[in-house]
Chains A and B, each alone.
Chain A
Amino acid sequence: MKKLFILLCMGVTTLAFIQGCKKDEEVNVPNGTTSGPPVDTTKPYVPTPYFVQIPIGLPLDYPVPSPLDNPLTVEGVALGRKLFHDKILSKNSVQSCASCHNQLFAFTDSTRQFSVGVSGQAGTRNSMPLFNLAYVEKFTKTDHRFFWDGGAKNLESQVLGPITNPIEMEETISNVINKLQNHPEYPALFKKAFGSDSVTTAAMMKAIAQFERTIVSGETRFDYFKLFNDQSKLTEQEKRGFVLFNTETKADCFHCHNLSGAFMTDFAFHHNGHQSTDKGLGLITNNPEDNGKFRTPSLRNLVFTAPYMHNGSLATLEDVVEFYNSGAIRNFPADELITKHTTGLGLTTDEKADLVAFLKTITDSTLLTKPGF
């Protein structure tokens, strides 16, 4: 009996110890929500790693790429998401990033050709869709990674462009930092995410970049068709469009919008034969050879991202196909991939319709509704 009692005591004590330990651990791990009780400053800074669920069409053999000095964390992503949707980042707090990068339109600005800034000024380029950006960062071979003209070298520094641009959010960085520092919630959220309740430009840039890296898209009929040769996923018309897309003497799209990869872009800059006077990449490099070159956009989710091209000058996919078929200029400074088709592509009406039908198969509707975005 005595022995049993001692054993019982030992058991209870051990259990208590284990439970005590467990409880401590649970308390130490921040819960990652964007609101809640004030952070207990006596607890150590322990962010929780964040894992992005990768859709079928993207590389499944490695996590979403992120820089060593800014790994994805639950707290960082939550903070970035809150900042992305918060008008506090703009002058007079009237616009957020999401105002012109609306999830319902694959993070573009509805069907607007040009977004309008806080002072009512329109821009000169079409709001870019935001998804798979971590891969753009990883695979772009030069320092020119973001914006239509490649002006931003990474996602972190990209953050500052729209905030400070006088025709966009028109705010100064120091004002943003002051507003966030004096906000009832943000200092605690910065502490959870980065270990200090002192709000810094660097931490703000990191948080928004983290959130942007989590926006992935790759769940489409075309992905199933391509990856598993599932013929039922595409109609006969769409399959004909796919063949045209990949035929050099027909639509010849595949050189820049490489379908064998997951991203349907070559992560490079080209002059596509447009007649805009915007210098594009040339503004950044000051190299006249780069004048008129713009980033090759992904062809995913085109159904949601109209209008098209850097200047949103083409309203529909039919317009885009007709542009490459007959509208593009066929001499310098257009890219050799455009000029080699000296008299245009010569697509028939049916072929153009087939091509458009195919482009619409690369559509991932889950992007518009995923709650985490």
Chain B
Amino acid sequence: MKKIVSILSIMCLAFTITSCIKDKDDSTTTTGTTGTSYDSGITFTAPGKLTFAFDHSFGSQALALAPHSYITAANDTVKVTQLSYYISNVTLTSINGNKVNLGNYNLIGYLAGTPSTFELNNIPAGRYTSISYTVGVDSVANSTGVHTGDLDPSHGMYWEWSTGYVFIRLKGRFSSQNTAYSFDIGGDGNTMAVTHGLTAYNMGGTMLRANVNVDLARVFNSPNVYDLKTDAIDIHSSGAPSIPKLKANISNAFMITGIQ
């Protein structure tokens, strides 16, 4: 009997091992799977693809455009009419500290009810413990505007009078008078860096999806309380005094909510 148990145990162990090996060696396309077979972080078992999905909320509520309104920490009643931003320089950091820069520039626009996505292809196999990116456009790409795709100036996220892209645009109205506020943040030096740790996830595969939520409540509330009654409501240049406050809040507003 003891012998049989031993044999069974060995068989189980062998099965587990082979299934592990099989998972890790699987070069065909698989969606993300979780389980004890993956160490902390996200593991690409073979060169693969990461879909980046951006969802938008105000606090715990899904973001809805005007006339829907929200209350900020400064007790402003705010409505949102437009939210667009560039995500660039996406970089994965592997367990041994290597950084894989996945380049590309992506213009994300808020779409009601559905996340905005882009795909990063040809990610090298490996285990990654963090992902970082820039909200905005680096100074090299920002210097000419002679670009196509998402960086084509015809998308309107561009300052024709002072060469460079609008990194993030947030527009809307506030107060009972429906006063307009309009934030265009751009200019070299005003990019916002975001890093998400991935060690809380034990995921692997060749086709993964990272879900990010952009919480506009944080843009107005934390870490800085942005008071539309006293802070700038019309920002259209690189050096407006309220920009540092907003930048800190915007960086803080991007949160990873899951890996699939």
Q: Using CB atoms and an 8 Å cutoff, list the residues of chain A in contact with chain B.
A: 69-70, 143, 147, 151-154, 156-158, 160-161, 163-165, 172-174, 177, 200-202, 205-206, 283-287
8 Å CB interface, B31-74 against A: none
**Shortest beta-carbon distance from A10 to chain B in Å:** 52
Most central of B143, B146, B154, B158 by chain A CB within 10 Å: B146
Query: Please, which residues of chain A bring their CB within 8 A of the CB of B147?
Result: 202
Query: Please, which residues of chain A bring their CB within 8 A of the CB of B153?
Result: 160, 173, 201
Query: Please, which residues of chain B bring their CB within 8 A of the CB of A202?
Result: 145-148, 152
- Which residue of A151, A161, A174, A286 is within 8 Å of B154 (Cβ)? A174
B151 (CB) vs chain A CBs: closest residue = A202
- Which residue of B144, B148, B240 is within 8 Å of A153 (Cβ)? B144
Query: Please, which residues of chain A bring their CB within 8 A of the CB of B162?
Result: 151-152, 283-284
Given contacts A153-B143, A157-B146, A283-B237, contact A173 B154 (CB under 8 A): yes
B163 within 8 A of A: yes
B243 (CB) vs chain A CBs: closest residue = A286
**Shortest beta-carbon distance from A275 to chain B in Å:** 24
Report how far A172 CA is from B154 CA in the complex, Å: 8
Q: Are A165 and B152 in contact (CB under 8 A)?
A: no
Report how far A151 CA is from B164 CA in the complex, Å: 9
**Shortest beta-carbon distance from B125 to chain A in Å:** 34
Query: What are 8 A-B contacts with C-beta separation under 8 Å?
Result: A153-B143, A157-B146, A160-B153, A165-B160, A172-B156, A173-B154, A173-B158, A201-B148
Q: Are B160 and A163 in contact (CB under 8 A)?
A: yes
Q: Are B158 and A160 in contact (CB under 8 A)?
A: yes
Q: Are A69 and B146 in contact (CB under 8 A)?
A: yes
**Shortest beta-carbon distance from A37 to chain B in Å:** 28
- Which residue of A147, A206, A287 is within 8 Å of B146 (Cβ)? A206
Q: Are B163 and A152 in contact (CB under 8 A)?
A: yes
Report how far A157 CA is from B152 CA in the complex, Å: 11
Query: Please, which residues of chain A bring their CB within 8 A of the CB of B237?
Result: 283-284, 286
Q: Are B145 and A156 in contact (CB under 8 A)?
A: yes
Q: Are B160 and A201 in contact (CB under 8 A)?
A: no
* CB-CB nearest 5 A-B residue pairs: A286-B239, A153-B163, A160-B160, A173-B154, A157-B163
**Shortest beta-carbon distance from B208 to chain A in Å:** 33
Given contacts A156-B144, A201-B148, A285-B239, 8 further A-B contacts (CB under 8 A): A158-B163, A160-B153, A164-B160, A165-B160, A172-B154, A177-B154, A202-B145, A205-B145
Query: Please, which residues of chain B bring their CB within 8 A of the CB of A69?
Result: 146
Q: Are B163 and A286 in contact (CB under 8 A)?
A: no
Report how far A158 CA is from B188 CA in the complex, Å: 17
- Which residue of A160, A200, A284, A286 is within 8 Å of B240 (Cβ)? A286
